[in-house]
Structure 1
């Protein structure tokens, strides 16, 4: 008894032999489906392999210890922490009280009888073969069994003496050093010999040096302090091993002493969410993804996958139609021998099944091989080592089923088209005239209207990007369904065309079964490109309109704030040496405390900071200090806040933007800085030379025409006063000021005084850096040389060169246009092959009646060009909907954010948001003109002028 199984087995055998016989077409379709499968499978394997299990994470963070103890820096008050030990906060809410800060003795929280290994870290500027390099110094006895797994030894050995260190391979590569070389640090004369190289599996690009506990950081801190510089910040944690480990209850008990714990037992067996006190604390549940966000992400992923499958099906569908056309005699024989239409459909569908299975196997196997071979490259690119090579069979099976489903969907329309052919037409090669469906265009129109409505609703009412994407996808499907009818409308333009394009257009309209899928494929490719291009062009226009230069065009600024600006002279020389400098202006800053203090004071003893005093009458009411603390804006209504921000000059001045130069925007310099910044005002230069502070912000100048500069030496007292809404205690120096008239752009500079004025006022200064105007923009080679010279200093140099607005999307738009062109030409080429298979009899008839040989080539070219032109026109129209919808959504979001800021009294940018919608006419012109023309020329070139005469088909 014959069953469906036997019929499908025979259909699959026929399809397999047909696919093997037409290797070129099969390889083309297989590549279309296999390439996305390869990419998705490789991404899945890479992602899963890079995800570490809890045990692997523990090995890299705490080695073989049972826990890591670290100070929460809250002065020992009780804390709540998450099970992973990554987040914590105090148990008590300090809303109206100063936040507790300060260290606690972690060792007192370690249970008695535990084995403890100290893990300390700090930063230093280490000597290298090129100069200096800022790196992390870690003091951990890496050879101890407890530390096993934290560091992977690559070459050499672990340090055994206090004058030995080992370094990460990345540090050795960056520094030009090798095993056996010696290194030290700035302001530190003790040399250390490098005895080994290692890597941190979780951070392959870290520049780190490892020494024994107490061998480097403590003596280095003493040497730095002896040189009159602030000691570097040091952090210490403790790896602890104890019999029985640390349960969640034990961790919570240790938290009461202000100590955070990363516990092996807790991470391997985490507590229930209800047992974590941190989860019940307000504001600390955001670290878990909400179900709504997950649903939105899933919907977005489904939309993207659906559009990708649609694209592949539309591209591969005409190829299956080509196969069905070329095999119509074989299919006719099946029908002549008693085969039903279902058998013919099964044969064509089996072609899709065979290609889909082959593509799935090929894509997944190649993904496995490539991921294994490229594992070191992927690890280097991600900056971390994989865990175990993780293969998820169910996920790969799902990806494989996606490939099979894609192949079957691509063959559905050709299967039903082939099954509707009569046996006589299939055997003789004749083509009947069949009316196109009248229902499909109606369904397409309904889908287009509903999809457009959903997209507009998502962009203008609900502000849901997912609705915009889903509606756009539905509208695009509607346009695809309407394609046969739209092709018929295009056919009416043939009366105005010459002979060859008229024949090509009429042939395309007459054979809509093969033309519509090809046009739809081109449509889908172009629609995606137009949507992305329109969106990116609109963003580029918005960024260009909103761009605010931080410096005049061609001006560079370089600041050094570490170690009291010690490297500032070297930075000035490097910039002068490598850049085409026109005018150079050296600048300094006010320094409070001992030499070497940071501008913000830091935590080192003897370091302070300064403030530019804003007179009470000039303070914006929204930001004025409130005695006892609190938000001053709360006493105003939203309308009052809006009025203050938009109309009160005090709030407008405080909202002025620009490049950060120093606290209060005050710099020490001379008139050359005014010239570099483009301030050409003789009165301003005279006031500066007369010893007055030049002010660009009138909120800094009081009614007497003076500016107050407060020197704060007690940082802790100043912070406490700020929290309580009181002025910070400190000495105030009052200096005469000159307010620059008009609204001259100062690029973040609020006030300027000369070194002589600062010295006369008893203010200490420290070098900060320089501004330079350039004769021309430095080229790439000059910038690379400057970067190299600055890297040798080992410090953090803040360098900025004003180049004006740079279009970040230009190359992307070009790449999209090229990609769309290639896909369009490929789809049109497939359609041309199908057209040639169908039009063979017509071409032979033309040759028989005396048409020149070039007619065959010309007709093929125009057939391809007609398909490409129709697809590009429809795709350009379909691609505008999602781009417009996304831009409207962004406009509403930005407008709502702007209104909210005004109501809350946040000044920021007082300009209402401008979200333009820009159509990239250059890209559209390239698609509308160059792509169809290129497709036509390519098809004409690859088509033979003379076709072989065929014998008459037997009837």
Structure 2
């Protein structure tokens, strides 16, 4: 035991002395080991500090109150809830045919006797800002009351004390261009408020919100909007409550309050929940107190373990060559240890002690830096997370475990160099001869086997299994196989050296001859690039899929300004849009109203009716035709028939877009066709001749069809079977029936429609032209020229305008227009089609930069080690008369060779998992699509065939394959001195 202790003590002293003597190499390894510890320890501190305890979360939700009482909108029926109050249901069970209760409840009547309460009202309002108009959350709460302390944190100024005062969050002030002291008004409200303070919501620092006293803003705004027939603020009330006695809002009090139709979130119950047997909700079928998160936790643990393992592998691959070079530089010293009676395990102990010493220092330095940086950057981290920390939560055991990673990684990185150094003979160590090193014949076989097996597993996972983890596991195994093959692959790269000039040929030869340091660096670059390419390929493919699914509301750059609620301000809105935006063609459109001209396009109102397009029964989708029995029509057909019907022309949905905002009929002319880019000369001719233009074949009955007259004058089409109706031909002329239903007939029409009967109303027939398939009308169902509308007896009012633009409107122009539109007081809809915006474009750039930095760093490390290891060769070059620039060129090409090999192998390895995951997703979506067709959902939900492409991000690959190796080579050449220190000839 004494000998073991003394031998290791001596080994550690030797290792500590060597680390101090060779500060550059020691700092390099120290940085590699410490940087991950800094990141992981900082991430641990950030995660733990941002996790709120139940008591801290209650302080932010309840302030100093004992409970918050909410109205679930079930009309005051008795409820039962879980202890947290986030799950509830009525005590009475309602059958399928029995309507679910709904309606508001008087919360004040449900408060316990003697309780003090504070109303908390939340709604939305359009507030005027320095830039225009902003839809903003408004919270009416007396924030200065001690009961509300902690819900809002005052930053500067004060909370409102008078009805004419408001406070605002910093996020709102920043986005609105206002400040403490500014005046604030709401659209439709003449009252002006003064901003007297700025605050923040600790749980959501990015929330734009305005605080006012109860009843100061939302209530008067609701009255004004209701009088103007505009949408209200949709406010909801809850009450903060404090009960006497000091015991808080107990579970018995919660159950008693539930009988009055409200839910309660109680501080006392949340912190000390009752047993499950005392919770009536948990006794119901299908309810339980705890969800099973074991699978989710297991998945998170597996991901965390994989990430930690890959980080340690990366560090070992980079740090291992440094220890190997250090062992070779100290080979004479190690030889002296052997000459003086040292055994192989003493040699191994000395080299391992180098990893232990630097690992311990890296653990201490990394942990200290992680704690210090997290503390210093706490405001920045809170801003990124969007919430304040609960406390600075330092957990010593977790940080100790993270620190041990550096020690373990240092030891692991030194294992192979230690074994290699211990196998050298004393004579070879003392003379400095490296001897003949044989290539490992087993490692390539193992690597090739792993590649084949991993690729097979990934292929199986993508083609047969539905579990992405199989694809990921197989891909990881294949990548490890490529890592194992790296020394052999480096040797294969060396064969191209015969065609290269002197400097790159020397660099490639040096890389091949010294595979012990080249292969790990190449493998490290390979691992980083493979992960980047995999994520980049997956992200690019997802963006391509999202772009294919993106449904524009208008042609790119087009503008629509519509006012479906009120027609009074439409002329001024049209002029403002044309004045402030770079518009080209302007197409004014009107809408049809049944009843008063003030009726909304969305219906409603005592004197307002509606209209509907009359479709022949044979043109209706059979999957939609309900009868008086109420049975699902899809049940009448087999799976094969449902599949066919889902693709039938009668079951096709209309295009998505803004054109349906004003109803199914738009009154306009051929200028609307130009804005919508409808290329159909027959359509323009039809509008000029007083014919309507139809974009939906189910609506038009072609001239010459087998017609009959149904009830109310509705045109019908004779048919003998559900699937025997031919679609109207493209460009066909025919008629469209429009039923006008008065306000008195609305209820009767609804009842008739539910029974499958003919609704009451007056049917008008309009001559129409069917537009050819393939034209995207952006939601427009039918365009009726003004003359045809007048002839049919339609009552019309202005709806808005569509514009084509000379160029894409800027954000500033859009904000100025919003400001002008806000002055009108109408609830208008402004739409500017900006096209699809990729979500992952920034991700791809960040990944490319990350991979580039790792590649340059790994290649630079390998180059530095190569220069330290090959100093005799460089001196020999200088001695034989090589130009001074050769040293720079050789250094640059050494770095470029490592980077190029790693990038090429990593790019090839990274594409496999991305393709496998995309194929897995494609199979899953195809199964969902088939199920939708089998069950008849396709016609209801407009289910389309899945499109799951695999897109290679050539820009990212190009940056990695070309720019990164060249950048690494140039950087290495620039930082390398052209002249080296002269030395005496080595004595051999």
Could you tell me the TM-score, scaled by structure 1's length?
A: 0.89
Q: How does 1:580-619 map to 2 (within 5 A)?
A: 580-589=582-591, 599-600=601-602, 612=613, 614-619=615-620
Q: Does 1:455 align with 2:458?
A: yes
Q: Does 1:906 align with 2:937?
A: yes
In the TM superposition, what is the alpha-carbon distance from 1:447 to its structure 2 partner?
2.4
Q: 3-state SS of the aligned residue for 1:409?
A: helix
Q: Does 1:884 align with 2:885?
A: no
- Does the 8 Å contact 2:608/2:742 carry over to 1? no
Residues in 2 aligned to 1:144 and 1:806: alpha-carbon distance in whole angstroms: 45
Residues in 2 aligned to 1:856 and 1:306: alpha-carbon distance in whole angstroms: 38
Match of 2:780 in 1: 749
Q: 1:785 to 1:159 in 2, by over 3 A?
A: closer
Match of 1:706 in 2: 736
Q: Deviations over 1:750-791 (max 9, x none)?
A: 123356766777766665543211123345665565577678
Q: 3-state SS of the aligned residue for 2:68?
A: strand
Unaligned residue ranges in structure 2 (runs of 5+): 702-706, 708-714, 716-734
Match of 2:63 in 1: 63
Bigger mean CA offset, 608-617 vs 209-218: 608-617
Q: Does 1:234 align with 2:235?
A: yes
Q: Does 1:25 align with 2:25?
A: yes
Residues in 2 aligned to 1:98 and 1:352: alpha-carbon distance in whole angstroms: 72
Q: 1:760 to 1:8 in 2, by over 3 A?
A: farther
Match of 2:102 in 1: 101
Q: Does 1:348 align with 2:354?
A: no
- Does the 8 Å contact 1:360/1:403 carry over to 2? yes
- Does the 8 Å contact 2:69/2:265 carry over to 1? yes
Which of 938, 944, 950 is the matching residue for 2:983? 950
Q: 3-state SS of the aligned residue for 1:738?
A: strand
Which of 848, 856, 866 is the matching residue for 1:825? 856
Match of 1:579 in 2: 581
Residues in 2 aligned to 1:423 and 1:787: alpha-carbon distance in whole angstroms: 84
Bigger mean CA offset, 754-763 vs 483-492: 754-763
Q: 1:237 to 1:942 in 2, by over 3 A?
A: closer
Match of 1:110 in 2: 111
Match of 1:634 in 2: 635
- Does the 8 Å contact 1:701/1:737 carry over to 2? no
Match of 2:76 in 1: 76
Q: How does 1:79-228 map to 2 (within 5 A)?
A: 79-91=79-91, 92-128=93-129, 132-179=133-180, 182-228=183-229
Q: 3-state SS of the aligned residue for 1:381?
A: helix
Residues in 2 aligned to 1:596 and 1:802: alpha-carbon distance in whole angstroms: 29
Match of 2:301 in 1: 298
- Does the 8 Å contact 2:131/2:816 carry over to 1? no
- Does the 8 Å contact 2:654/2:779 carry over to 1? no
Q: 1:328 to 1:559 in 2, by over 3 A?
A: farther
Residues in 2 aligned to 1:177 and 1:167: alpha-carbon distance in whole angstroms: 10
Q: Deviations over 1:443-486 (max 9, x none)?
A: 22332233222222222222222222222122211221222233
Residues in 2 aligned to 1:942 and 1:867: alpha-carbon distance in whole angstroms: 17
Q: Deviations over 1:22-67 (max 9, x none)?
A: 3333333333333333333333323322222222222222222222
In the TM superposition, what is the alpha-carbon distance from 1:386 to its structure 2 partner?
2.5
Bigger mean CA offset, 811-820 vs 576-585: 811-820
Q: How does 1:864-883 map to 2 (within 5 A)?
A: 864-883=895-914
Q: 3-state SS of the aligned residue for 2:624?
A: coil
Match of 1:915 in 2: 948
Match of 2:49 in 1: 49
Residues in 1 aligned to 2:552 and 2:876: alpha-carbon distance in whole angstroms: 69
In the TM superposition, what is the alpha-carbon distance from 1:212 to its structure 2 partner?
3.4
Q: Does 1:394 align with 2:397?
A: yes
- Does the 8 Å contact 1:96/1:629 carry over to 2? no
Residues in 2 aligned to 1:496 and 1:889: alpha-carbon distance in whole angstroms: 43
Q: Does 1:15 align with 2:46?
A: no
In the TM superposition, what is the alpha-carbon distance from 1:294 to its structure 2 partner?
2.8
Q: 1:447 to 1:49 in 2, by over 3 A?
A: same
- Does the 8 Å contact 1:230/1:597 carry over to 2? no
- Does the 8 Å contact 1:693/1:735 carry over to 2? no
Q: Does 1:835 align with 2:866?
A: yes
In the TM superposition, what is the alpha-carbon distance from 1:583 to its structure 2 partner?
0.5
Unaligned residue ranges in structure 1 (runs of 5+): none
Match of 2:512 in 1: 509
Q: How does 1:241-256 map to 2 (within 5 A)?
A: 241-242=242-243, 243=245, 244-256=247-259
Q: 3-state SS of the aligned residue for 1:238?
A: strand
Match of 1:552 in 2: 555
- Does the 8 Å contact 1:125/1:795 carry over to 2? no
In the TM superposition, what is the alpha-carbon distance from 1:151 to its structure 2 partner?
2.5
Q: 3-state SS of the aligned residue for 2:405?
A: helix
Q: 3-state SS of the aligned residue for 1:239?
A: strand
Q: Does 1:477 align with 2:466?
A: no
Q: Deviations over 1:662-695 (max 9, x none)?
A: 2754434443212211235455345546665432
Q: 1:678 to 1:417 in 2, by over 3 A?
A: same
Match of 2:674 in 1: 675
Residues in 2 aligned to 1:62 and 1:598: alpha-carbon distance in whole angstroms: 41
Match of 2:566 in 1: 564
Count of aligned positions:
951
Residues in 2 aligned to 1:149 and 1:614: alpha-carbon distance in whole angstroms: 60
In the TM superposition, what is the alpha-carbon distance from 1:295 to its structure 2 partner?
2.1
Residues in 1 aligned to 2:888 and 2:206: alpha-carbon distance in whole angstroms: 58
Which of 369, 382, 386 is the matching residue for 1:383? 386
Q: 3-state SS of the aligned residue for 1:142?
A: coil
Q: 1:117 to 1:801 in 2, by over 3 A?
A: closer
- Does the 8 Å contact 2:282/2:289 carry over to 1? no
Q: How does 1:389-538 map to 2 (within 5 A)?
A: 389-497=392-500, 500-538=503-541
Q: 3-state SS of the aligned residue for 2:205?
A: coil
Residues in 2 aligned to 1:53 and 1:828: alpha-carbon distance in whole angstroms: 45
Residues in 2 aligned to 1:723 and 1:381: alpha-carbon distance in whole angstroms: 53
Residues in 1 aligned to 2:181 and 2:966: alpha-carbon distance in whole angstroms: 65
Residues in 2 aligned to 1:389 and 1:727: alpha-carbon distance in whole angstroms: 69
- Does the 8 Å contact 2:553/2:657 carry over to 1? yes
